[in-house]
Amino acid sequence: MRVYISVDMEGCSGVVHREQTNPIGYDYESARTLMTAEANAAVRGAFEGGATEVVVSDSHGGNGMRNVLIDRLDPRAELILGSPRRLGQLEGLDDSYGALFLVGYHTRHGSTGVLSHTTNGQAVANVWIGDELVGEIGLNARLAESFGVPVALVTGDDRTVAEAKEQLPEVEGVVVKKALGRYTARCLHPERAQQLIEQGAVRAVKKADRLGTEPLGSPVSIRVQFKETGSAEAAAAVPGAVLVADDTVELSCDSVEQAYAGYSSMVALWEPAWGGWIRG
């Protein structure tokens, strides 16, 4: 079984503040180390559970998706690094994979949880696929499901795992910290957090074949509410995108993959100098 691991930073144990997730911030290098270590724990567990190949995607937008320390990554895994990417946090995912892991993830914008936001926290307020309000977990789950790939593991704070289980009841969830506020958490020691992730990854691989997927039918609409009107106006330049409110753009597509790619383009127009659609 091929396993795809998308690893973000905000949901890692020990990460609680924006400065840790920004390359110019204090403690960023420490957060990179924690992110890499949690990715490694998921890689170890995937192989122990029976994976034959593992691909890791650096899915944190800070530093242009160049955060995982490749020289410290488990050498059995390959790493997707850098941006821009048509499919953002899931670049390269296809129907050849048997499971998707979302490691170090966080809750959506407007929800309680450590460093909650949806993709680009400075630009995006809310995202809907059809009538479903989604964050990064829901957005990525829908894309994976369109390829027939189940989300088998989600790790992060307790609110993040709860959000995942609302949408994916059978997913393996690993809580590495308890959210006490947006910038405060009760964190497990990194060694303990990594141990739990490794154990969860083993269980996730073993049950992945039993996890069902429910791909959306066609057409697929994606609606994006931005935090200010100028961003919506810029996003409306994407072919097929329509302003449906002063701050909101909607795009109708033939597939989730096209909708996801369209979303990538819309958000990239907000700040193209960063070289990517997502800030993570």
Q: What is the pLDDT of residue 280?
A: 52
**Higher-scoring residue by pLDDT: 216, 53:** 53
Tell me the C-alpha to C-alpha distance, in Å, between residue 91 and each of 86, 202, 272, 273, 274: 7, 24, 18, 20, 17
Give residue-wise pLDDT tens across range 17-58.
Answer: 999 999 999 899 999 999 999 999 999 999 999 999 999 999
Q: What is the pLDDT of residue 94?
A: 97
* Mean pLDDT score, 218-227: 93
Give residue-wise pLDDT tens across range 116-155.
Answer: 999 988 889 999 999 999 999 999 999 999 999 999 999 9
User: Could you give the 3-state DSSP secondary structure of residue 183?
Assistant: coil
CATH homologous superfamily for 2-114+136-210? Dipeptide transport protein (3.40.50.10780)
pLDDT at 191 over 90: yes
pLDDT at 276 over 80: no
| β-sheet bridge partners, residue 1 | none
Q: What is the H or E stretch that residue 191 is in?
A: helix 190-207
Is 117 marked active-site? yes
Question: Which of 119, 27, 107 is CA-nearest to residue 65?
Answer: 119
Residues 6+ apart with CB under 8 A from 248: 223, 224, 225, 226, 232
Q: What is the pLDDT of residue 235?
A: 93
Q: Which of 60, 106, 109, 117 is catalytic?
A: 117
User: Could you give the 3-state DSSP secondary structure of residue 190?
Assistant: helix
Give residue-wise pLDDT tens across range 79-112.
Answer: 999 999 999 999 999 999 999 999 999 999 999 9
pLDDT at 255 over 90: yes
Amino acid at 167: Q
Which DSSP string corresponds to 67-111?
-S-GGGS-TTSEEE--S--TTGGGTT--TT-SEEEEEEE-PPTTS
